Structure 1
Amino acid sequence: MMDAPNGVDFIQKSKSFRPPSSYVEQSYITSADMYSEIYRASIEDPVAFWSDIADELDWVHREQTVIEGSLPDFRFFPGSQINVSLNCVDRHANNPLRRNKVAFFFEGENGETRSLTYLQLHRNVQKFANVLHNFGLAKGDVVSVYMQNLPETYIVLLACLRMGIIYNTVFAGFSPEALRERIVTSNAKAVICSNGSYRRGKVLALKETVDAALQGEHAVRHVIVFNRIADLATPMVQGRDYDYTELMRTAPATCDAVPLDCNDPGLLIFTSGTSGKPKGIVHAGGGFLLGTYAYSKYQLDLRDEDVYWNTADIGWLTAHIFVLVGGLALGVTNVIYEGAIDHPHQGRLYEIVERYQINKLFSAPTAFRMLMKYGEALAQTYDLSSIRLIASVGEPLNPEAWNWVYRVVGGGHAVINNTWGQTETGGTPLASLPGATAMKPGSCGVPFFGHSLDVVDHEGRPVKDGTPGLLIIRTPFPTLARDVFGNRNRYLQNYFEQIPGAYITGDSAIRDHDGHYWVLGRVDDVINVAGHRISTMEMESSLIQHESVVEAAVVAQPDAIKGTVPVAFVTIDNRVLPDDGLAKALQLKVIEDIGSFAKPERIHFVSVMPKTRSGKIMRRMLREVLEGSVIQGDITGLEDSDALTMLISEVQDS
C-alpha cells in the first residue's frame, strides 16, 4: 500500500479536545495513563481482564477456564452457565434500590407515552416466556421478531433470551421478500410481530407483510400479534395467529430462566446487505452479555443516575448491544422511541432530550448530519444542557458534523464518542474512553481493553502509522460472531482466510501517531487514483462543507487511464437548483481541500440515496448504478425500496 500524505491531510490537521474536568471526575477511566495501563495488562493477560468483568455479572455456574482456543475457533467460559435475562432483568428487579426504577420511558411517534419499571419488566418477561413455552418453543429454536421500538419488543426478546430461544429481529417496514428470506433462511418456528407501526405519520401494516411473507413453504407454526394500533384491520389466521395481549392475560407470572452455556447461540441478526447477499450472523448469548456489558460501562460510562437514549431501531444490532443487553445489564433508565426522530417536526429529537433530561445520547452519523441540515437556530430553541455524552456509530462521522454536534448539540461541554463496530463484532472494538482519551473530530478512538487491532497490507504486514491499510483484529473477544447461520465455510472464508489468525474487518483504516484509529470505510471505498489512495470519507467531508450540500457519497468508477476515478452522488438543499455551475463549484472545493487528483470526475445530483434502515449508504449499489447493470446483490435491506428506482432514473437522465 502506498503512503499518500495528501490523502490523509485531514487527519494530520485534526485538533484534539480534552474531556471537561467535570466529566472526568465521574468517569470510570480518568486519564490516558490509566487507559494505557489497563489496556496493556488486558492484552498481556486477557484471562485476568475478562475474569474481572465476569465477576460483575451473575452466573448460574462458573468454571475456572476463561478462554479456550484461538481465532476462529474460540470459546469464553466454556462449561460455565449464565442467562442474559437474569442479568438484565432479575438482578435489578430483586434489588430493593432498583426494582421501582424506570427501565424504559417509551414515546411513540403519535405522542403516546408510557413507562415500565424493572419490576414490571420482570413480571412481563416471565409471562411471555411462559407464552413461548406453551407453544412448545425451547432452547435452540429460532423465532423471527418483526416489531418496531416498543416496550413489548424488548419484553419479547428478553423472554427469548430467558428460554434460550434464538431470536432474529427484522426491521419493521422491510418488504415481504426481505422478511421471508430471513424467516426461511433461519428456519424460524414462529413469528412475533406488531399489527402496525407509525412511521413519518403513516401507518405501516406489518401483519399484512407477515402474511405475504408466509406464502409458500416455511417452518412457521405460530404467529403472535401485538395490536399496536387498535383500529387497524388485522386479519388473523385461525389456528396459527394469536393475540399477544390475550396470551399475556392468562400466562403465569413466574418462569425460571434456563441455564445456558456461555457460548450457546443467543441471537441471529442478518447483515444489512451493503455487500451482497445478507448473512445470518450468530452471536453467543453469554459472550454477547459479557462484551456488551464491558463496552457499555467503559465507552458510555453508564451509571445508575443516567437517563440514556440510543435512537437505534431494534432491527439494528446497536440497539441490542447498547440497550437491550448493555444498557439493561447496567440498570440504567432507557428511552425508546417509535418512528422517525424528525417527525412530526424537525425538533422532535431535541424535544425528547429536553422532556426526559437525557444526559447520554447515542445515534448515527446520518442523524447528526440531518440535525446539522436543520440548522443551529432550531437547536437553540430547546434546553439541551442535560447532555454530557454523545456517541455515534454506523458510518464515518466527518469532522464538520463532529464539530457542529460538539458545539451546537453538546454545547461545547459534552464528550463526543465516535465509535466503530460491525454486525460481526457485536460491539465497538474502537471508541474513546470518554474520561481518559482526547477527542479528535472524525477519529474512532482507541482499541478497547482485550482487543488487539492492527493496520496491515493485504499480506498481513503492518503498515507505518499514517498509512492507509486493512483493519484487522488479532485477538478473540466475547462478542465476535461465532458463525454464519448454516454456512460455516462462508464464515471462515469471509473473515479469517485472507490473514490466518486474524479477524478481517474489510474496512480501511489509518492509525495516527497518537494511537488513534481513523476508519475510512470499506476497503472498496478507498479509491486509488493514479497512485494516490484517497478516502471517500475525506472527499465526502469536503463536499458536505458546501452550504448547498445535504449529503454526499463518493464511489470509484474504472478509468482506462487513471485506473479509477471518483464519482460523487450529492443531494442538495431543496431551495437550490442543481446546475453545471454548482457541479463545478463542488469540484473546485474538493481540489482546494484535498488536491487536483481528488477531483470528482462527475457529480450526480440525486434526490435520494440508497440506505439501510441503520442509515448506511449502500455504496455498492451506487457503483452498480454507474455501471448501468442490473443490481446484482441483495436489495432487501433498503429502507425505501422505491429509492433505488428513483436513483437509477435520475442518474440515467443526468
Structure 2
Amino acid sequence: MPRQTFIVRGEKTAIIWEPNDPKEEAQHISYNDLYTRVNKTANILREMGIEKGDRVCIYLPMIPELAVTMLACAKLGAVHSVIFAGFSASAVVSRVNDCGAKMLITSDGSYRGSKVLDLKSIIDEALEKCPTVEKTLVVKRTHNEIKMKEGRDFWMDDLYEKSSADFVTVIMDAEDPLFILYTSGSTGKPKGMLHTSAGYMVYSAYTFKNVFNYQENDIYWCTADIGWITGHSYILYGPLLNGATTVIFEGVPTYPEPDRFWDVIEKHKVTQFYTAPTAIRSLAKESTEWVDKHDLSSLRVIGSVGEPINDEAWHWFNDHVGRKKCPIVDTWWQTETGGIMISPIPFVTPTKPTYATLPLPGNSTCFDG
C-alpha cells in the first residue's frame, strides 16, 4: 500500500471484518492498525527464515489474518500462494509441491455456517507429502484441539506478541513476482498463474476505481473468497491501493437466515456490492420478503462476477437488490488476466441484461473463431 495512504488515511477503516456468527462483534481495522499487524507478521516470517523470493502457501479461512499474511509476504518480498481453505489434502499437496513452498500458514479450524471445520488435520495429512515445507504457522480461530508437530508447527499468536512493529519494506523490481495463484483445475490440472508486482497492482487499482465508481468514504463489499483471484484483486489489493474500506465476510449467504447478505449491507452501509450469479440465483429462490425488508439505500453500484449471469437472475438482482437505481457491472475476466477486462463503466456505459458490454479502456478484444 502506498505510504501516502497511511499519512492521509491512517485512522480510516481499511478492513471491516464481518464474522460467520452475526452475534460475534465485527472488527474495524484502521490503516494504521493494519500497518502494524503487517509489519509484525513480516518480522515473524523473516525470523522463521523466509526471505525475498521464497514461496509461502496460505491455507486460511476468511479472517483478518488471511489479508495480513498476504500483505506481510508482499512487504517482505516473499511470493504468497493462497490455497482455498475448502480444498482437500490432495489439492493442497499438488499446489504446495508445484510452487516449492518453504512455509505454510493455516489455522486450527474454521466456521462455515453452523459447522466447525478442522483445517489443521487436512494440513497435517498434506504435509506428509510436501518435503519443501520447513515450518508451519497456525492461527487460533476455533480453538479446537489439534496436533502440533514439534520443530515444525508454531502458534502465530505466541510469535506475534513478541514481534517488533518496525519493518522496512523490501524493495521490489516491477517484474518481481508478487503471488502465484492456481486455477480451479475444473478443466484439467490446476495451472499456477504468476502475477508480478507493478503491473498487477496498477491494473487492479485502476479497474477497481473505475468499474466500481469508487469514491472516498465508500464501503465496498465483494463476497468472494480471497482464495480465488476475485478476492485477491477486489477484496484486498484493488481496494486497499485506493485507500478504500473493504469488507471481508467469513460466513455464508444463508446463515443464520437467508437475509445475511442484506443484513450486512444494511449494517455497514455498503455502497458497492460485488457477488456471483450462483449466489444471486440461490437467494432469488427465497421469498422476496428476506431482501425487501432491509434498507439497501446505501448501494450505488452492484456487480456480477465468476460466470455468465442469466436474464432472470439479472432482473431479480436489479429489481430487488439495486431497486432499479444501481447500475449492474457484469464483469468478465480470468485468473490469468488478474483484473477485469470487459465491463460496463457505471453511469457511463449503457447496460443490457446478461451482456458484459465493452472492453475497459486500454483493452481490445480479438475473437479467434
Q: Distance in 2 between matches of 1:264 and 1:373?
A: 46
Specify the SS of the correspondent of 1:331: coil
Distance in 1, Cα, partners of 2:67 & 2:213: 22
1:109-258 equivalent positions in 2, closer than 5 A: 109-111=20-22, 112=24, 113-230=26-143, 232-258=144-170
What are the Cα deviations for residues 520-569 of structure 1, in whole angstroms up to 9, with x where unaligned?
Answer: xxxxxxxxxxxxxxxxxxxxxxxxxxxxxxxxxxxxxxxxxxxxxxxxxx
Provide closer, same or farther for how the CA distance between residues 444 and 211 of structure 1 changes in structure 2, counting only shifts above 3 A: same
Q: CA deviation at 1:236?
A: 0.8
Tell me the alpha carbon deviations over residues 16-54 of structure 1, each in whole angstroms, 9 at most, x when there is no partner.
xxxxxxxxxxxxxxxxxxxxxxxxxxxxxxxxxxxxxxx
2:305 aligns with one of 386, 393, 400: 393
TM superposition score normalised by structure 2:
0.97
Alignment of 1:441-590 (within 5 A): 441-457=353-369
Structure 2 CA distance, aligned partners of 1:123 and 1:409? 37
Q: Which amino acid aligns with 2:29?
A: L
CA drift of 1:303 comes to 1.9
Counterpart residue number, 1:359: 271
Letter in 2 for 1:415: P
Secondary structure of the equivalent of 2:367?
Answer: strand
1:611-652 C-alpha deviation (Å, 9 max, x unpaired): xxxxxxxxxxxxxxxxxxxxxxxxxxxxxxxxxxxxxxxxxx
SS in 2 for 1:402: helix
Would you say 1:99 and 2:16 are equivalent positions? no
Give runs of aligned pairs for residues 304-315 of structure 1, distance below 5 A: 304-315=216-227
Question: After alignment, is 368-377 or 177-186 more displaced?
Answer: 368-377
SS at match of 1:401: helix
2-side partners of 1:352 and 1:217: how far apart?
39
Letter in 1 for 2:7: N
Per the alignment, in what secondary structure is the counterpart of residue 454 of structure 1? coil
- In the TM superposition, residue 217 of structure 1 has moved relative to its aligned partner by 4.6
- Could you tell me which runs of 5 or more consecutive residues in structure 1 were left unpaired when the two chains were aligned: 1-85, 458-654
Show CA shifts across 1:148-203 (max 9, x none).
Answer: 11111111000001111101101112111111111111110000011111012111
2:332 corresponding residue in structure 1: 420
Check conservation: 1:432, 1:439, Cα contact below 8 A. Answer: yes
Name the Cα RMSD after superposition: 1.1
Match of residue 268, structure 1, among 175, 180, 184: 180
Distance 1:274 1:229 in 2: 30
Whether the 8 Å contact between 1:173 and 1:204 is mirrored in structure 2 is no
User: Are the aligned partners of 2:236 and 2:246 in contact in 1 as well (CA < 8 Å)?
Assistant: no
Aligned to 1:224, the other structure's residue is in SS state strand
Alignment-mate amino acid for residue 432 of structure 1: P
CA positional deviation for 1:455: 2.3
Specify which of 384, 395, 399 is matched with residue 296 of structure 2: 384
* Alpha-carbon distance in structure 1 between the residues aligned to 2:327 and 2:133: 46
String of CA shifts for 1:76-106, please: whole Å, max 9, x gaps: xxxxxxxxxx42xx432222xx111111111
Separation in 2, partners of 1:369, 1:133: 45
Q: Please give the per-residue CA displacement for 1:577-620, whole angstroms capped at 9, x wherever unaligned.
A: xxxxxxxxxxxxxxxxxxxxxxxxxxxxxxxxxxxxxxxxxxxx
Query: 2: CA distance between counterparts of 1:180 and 1:339?
Result: 26
User: 1:370 Cα deviation (Å)?
Assistant: 1.2
Alignment of 1:276-295 (within 5 A): 276-295=188-207
Q: Secondary structure at the match of 1:181?
A: helix
Q: 1:406 aligns with which of 318, 329, 335?
A: 318
Whether 1:330 aligns to 2:242 is yes
Deviation at 1:456, TM superposition (A): 3.4
For 2:32, the aligned partner's letter is: L
CA shift for structure 1 position 272: 0.6
Q: In structure 1, what residue type is equivalent to 2:314?
A: W
SS at match of 1:223: strand
Instruction: Give every structure 1 segment of 4 or more consecutive aligned residues whose post-TM-superposition deviation is greater than 4 Å.
Output: none
**C-alpha distance in structure 1 between counterparts of 2:199 and 2:130, whole Å:** 34
Q: Could you say what secondary structure the match of 1:297 adopts?
A: helix
Corresponding residue for residue 78 of structure 1: none
The 2-side partners of 1:167 and 1:207 are apart by 19
Helix, strand or coil for the counterpart of 2:252? coil
Cα distance in structure 1, aligned partners of 2:216 and 2:156: 32
Alignment of 1:71-86 (within 5 A): 86=1
TM norm structure 1: 0.55
Aligned residues: 367
Letter in 2 for 1:295: T
Q: Determine the C-alpha separation between the residues in 1 that align with 2:235 and 2:214.
A: 11
Q: Cα distance 1:173–1:456, how it changes in 2: closer, same or farther (>3 A)?
A: closer
1:485-514 C-alpha deviation (Å, 9 max, x unpaired) = xxxxxxxxxxxxxxxxxxxxxxxxxxxxxx
SS in 1 for 2:247: strand
Q: Which amino acid aligns with 1:348?
A: R
Provide the identity percentage: 37
Q: Is the 8 A contact 2:76 2:170 kept in 1?
A: yes
1:633-644 aligned within 5 A: none
Cα pair 2:96 2:130 within 8 Å, conserved:
no
Q: Distance in 2 between matches of 1:288 and 1:456?
A: 25
Distance across 2 between alignment mates of 1:382 and 1:373: 17
Partner-residue secondary structure (3-state), 1:119: helix
Determine helix, strand or coil for the equivalent of 2:329: strand
Within the candidate set 437, 457, 466, 2:349 is matched to: 437
| In structure 2, C-alpha distance between the alignment counterparts of 1:456 and 1:152, rounded to whole Å | 42
**Residue 298 of structure 1 corresponds to which residue in structure 2?**
210
Unaligned runs of 5+ in 2: none
Q: Take 2:53 and 2:92, find their aligned partners in 1: how far apart are those partners?
A: 21
Q: Which has the larger radius of gyration?
A: 1
SS of equivalent residue, structure 1 residue 140: coil
Q: Distance in 2 between matches of 1:216 and 1:282?
A: 23
Paired AA for residue 384 in structure 1 = L
The structural deviation recorded for 1:406 is: 0.5
Output the CA distance in 1 between the equivalents of 2:29 and 2:223. 18
Sort the Cα spacing of 1:270 and 1:306 in 2 relative to 1 into closer, same or farther, 3 A.
same
Does the aligned pair in 2 maintain the 1:303–1:330 contact within 8 Å?
no
- 3-state SS in 2 of match to 1:103: strand
For residues 437-492 of structure 1, the C-alpha deviation after alignment (integer angstroms, 9 at most, x for no partner) is: 001000012111211112232xxxxxxxxxxxxxxxxxxxxxxxxxxxxxxxxxxx
Q: What residue in structure 1 maps to residue 285 of structure 2?
A: 373
In structure 2, distance between residues paired with 1:452 and 1:173: 35
